[in-house]
Amino acid sequence: MAVANPANEAPGNRALRVGAVIREMARRPSGLVGLAIVGGHVLLAVISPWIVPYDYTTQDSRLVLASPSPEHWLGGDHLGRDVLTRTMLGGRQALVISGLGTLIAVLWGGSLGLVLGLIGGKVDDVVMRVVDAFMAIPWILFLLLIIAVLGTADAVLIPTLAFFYGISVIRISRAATHDVTARDFITAARARGERMWTIVWREILPNVRDVMLVDGAMRWSWMILAFSSLSFLGFGITPPTADWGLMIANGRSYMAVAPWAVLAPIIALSSMIIGVNLSADALAKTLGIDRAQKAPV
Amino acid sequence: MFKLILRRLALGVLTLVMVTIIVFVGVEALPGDACTAYLGRDTALETKLAKCRDDFGLNQPAHERFFVWAGGALQGDLGISTRRNKPISDLVQIRLRNTLLLGAAASAVGIPIAILLGVIAALTRDRAADLWISTSAIFAMTLPEFISATLLILFFSVWLGWLPGIVITRPDAPVFEFLQDIILPIIALAFVMTAHILRMVRTCVIDVMASDYVQMAILKGVPYWQVVFRHVLPNALLPTINLVALTLAWLLGGTVVIEVVFNYPGLGRLMLDSVSDRDLALVQAIALILAVLYVGLNLVADLLSLVANPRLRTMKV
C-alpha cells in the first residue's frame, strides 16, 4: 500500500483529484518518463498531419531503400516513400483505436463485473462460465475470426477489440466488487437501510474505480500490442495508410539493405508501449494497487 | 479431495463444451461455407454447389451438423479440409508437434531462468540487482513479440550472420533437423515468457518473506540461506504453478506471431493461413485444439497445486 494516497486527501473535488494523481505519478522518475512519452506521442499524433516534411503516399523512385540524408532524415522505404513522414503518422490509428477500444472495454466489462459481483447466484455462475470459455480461445484466433467475417474497418476493429478485452475486465471488476462488498462499511450501509443504488454509487464504485483505472491503463498497452500485431500480420490497417505494425512487416524483407525503415517504426512503437506501461505502473503505485499480482489475462 | 478433483474436471469439460459452441457459431457466421470456398469461382454453377453441399452434408440444420462435428472430434476425427483436400488430423498432427516442440523448448529454457531471476530480484528487493531485473522484465514483457523477433533476426541473422533468420526445414522433418533453425524462435518466445513468470515469482517470494513465520525464523536465528531454501521457496513457488500455467496458455496467442515471423511450420501459421483462405473446417479444428491445450494446462495446474497444497483441499472451489 502506498503511504501517500492523494486519492483520499481531496474527496469530492474531481478536477483537483485528477491533478493530484498526475502530480503524484510525475514525482516518480519512471512515472515522469512514462507520462512524458505518452504525452509526446499524443501530441505528435494530433499535430503530425501539419508538420510532416513530405506526403506519406508519394513514391519517389530515387528514394527506394535510400539511406538517411539531409533531405530525408530516415531515408526511404521499399516503395520510395519518406520513412520519417510515415513514422510520424504511423501511431495515429493505433492510438485512436486502442484508446477508444480500452474506454469501451473498461466501461462495459467494468459495469457487468460490478453487477455480477453484487447479485452473485446462478446468473453469476453462468456468465462466469461463458467468460472462462471465451478466455480459453487464443486472443489472436478470436480477433482473426471476426476480422475475417467483417473486414478491417475502424468500425469493426474498435468494437471487436473492446468486446474481447472487456471480457477479461469482467473478472477484475467482479473480484474488486467482491473485495469491497465483504467490508464492514457495506454492511453498515445496508443496516442503515440505504437503497441499493446509493450503495453502488457512493460506497462501491469509488472503491472499485481505482482498480479499474489501473486495469484500463494496462489493458490499453495490451490493446496497442494486439492492434499492431494484427497490422503486422496484415489483418489491421489497409495500405497505404501509415501504420507502425504494417511498416515493420513491409520493411522486414529489406532489413539487410534498409534497416532504418524497420528500426524507425520499431523504436516509435516500443517507446509508446513502454511509455504507457511506465505510466500504468506509476498510476498503480500512486493509487496503492499492486500491479505485479495481476496475471496478464 | 476426490470430490474437488471431480468438480474441477467437470468445470474443465464444461468450459470445453462452451468453447466448441462459441467456435462453431463464430465459424458459422463467416459468409460462405466450405463449398463456396472449395469451388471458388465455380460457385456460379448452382447444381455443382448443391451437389457439393449434399456431399458434405451442409444441408442439414446447424445444430445437427454441430453434433456430428463435435461427436467426430471426440473420437479424434476432425473432418476433412475441403480446401486442402486432406483429412484434418493429418494436416494438424505434424504442425501441432512443431508448436509443442517450440513451446516445450522455450519453457525448458525460460522457466528455470525466470525462477532464478525472480528469486534473486525478490531477495535483493529495491537494490541494484532487483531494479535491473525488474526493469528489463517490464521491457521484455511489453515489447510485442514481432518486434523482439524482428530485432533478433536483424542482429543475429542479418548483421552477425550466426543463425538462420527463417526456418526452411520441411514441416515433417525429424525433430533434430529443426535444432539450428529453432534457436531464434526459442529465444524470442522464452524472452516474453521469462519476463512474465519472473515478475510473479518475485511478488510471491516477497510476500512470503514478509510473512510472520519467516520473520519468526529469522528472529530465532535460523541461518539466512536455510530460511530461504527451507521456508520461503517451497511456500512461494507453489502459487506460481498456477500462474505459470496461465501464462503459458496466454502465450499460445504469441506463438502465432513468432511462427509467422520465423516462417516456422507450426499450428499458429496453419491457423493464420486457414483464416485467410477460409478453410473453415480447419479453423474450427485448430481453435478446438488450442482451447483443449489451454483448458488442459489450467486443469493440470489446478490439480498440481491441489496435490501440493493441503490447505486448498478444504477450501471451497
Is B269 near chain A, with CB under 8 Å? no
Q: Which residue do the cell numbers 478485452 mark?
A: A165
Mean pLDDT by 10 residues, chain B (317 residues): 79 81 74 60 62 64 72 72 75 85 87 89 84 84 83 82 72 71 85 86 84 85 83 80 75 80 85 79 81 81 74 56
pLDDT band at A107 (very low <50, low <70, confident <90, very high): very high
- Burial of residue B249 (CB within 10 Å: 0-12, 13-18, 19+) is buried
Q: What are the b/e assignments for A238-257, b being 16+ CB within 10 Å?
A: eeebbbbbbbbbbbbeebee
B138 and A259 within 8 Å at the Cβ level: the answer is: no
pLDDT at A291 over 70: no
Segment 217-256 of chain B within 8 Å of chain A by CB: 243, 246-247, 249-250, 252-253, 256
Size of interface A-B (CB pairs under 8 A): 135
The pLDDT > 70 percentage for chain B reads 83
CA distance A74 to A146: 36
Instruction: State pLDDT tens for residues B204-222.
Output: 888 888 888 888 888 888 8
Provide the shortest C-alpha distance from residue A295 to chain B (in Å).
7
CA distance B145 to B37: 32
pLDDT band at A233 (very low <50, low <70, confident <90, very high): confident
Is B154 near chain A, with CB under 8 Å? yes
Bridge partner list, B80? B87
Mean residue pLDDT across chain B: 78
Q: Rounded to two decimals, what is the model's pTM?
A: 0.80
Q: Locate the chain B residue with the closest alpha carbon to A270.
A: B143
Instruction: State pLDDT tens for residues B72-89.
Output: 777 777 777 777 777 777
Segment 112-131 of chain A within 8 Å of chain B by CB: 129-130
Instruction: State pLDDT tens for residues A80-104.
Output: 788 888 888 888 888 888 999 999 9
Average pLDDT of the residues in A36-53 = 86
Nearest-CB residue to B142 (from A259, A263, A273): A273
Mean residue pLDDT across chain A: 80
Segment 155-214 of chain B within 8 Å of chain A by CB: 158, 196, 199-200, 202-203
- Chain B residues closer than 8 Å to A228 by CB: 144, 146
Q: Hey, how many other C-beta atoms are within 10 angstroms of the C-beta on B7?
A: 12
**Kind and range of the H or E run holding B55:** helix B46-55
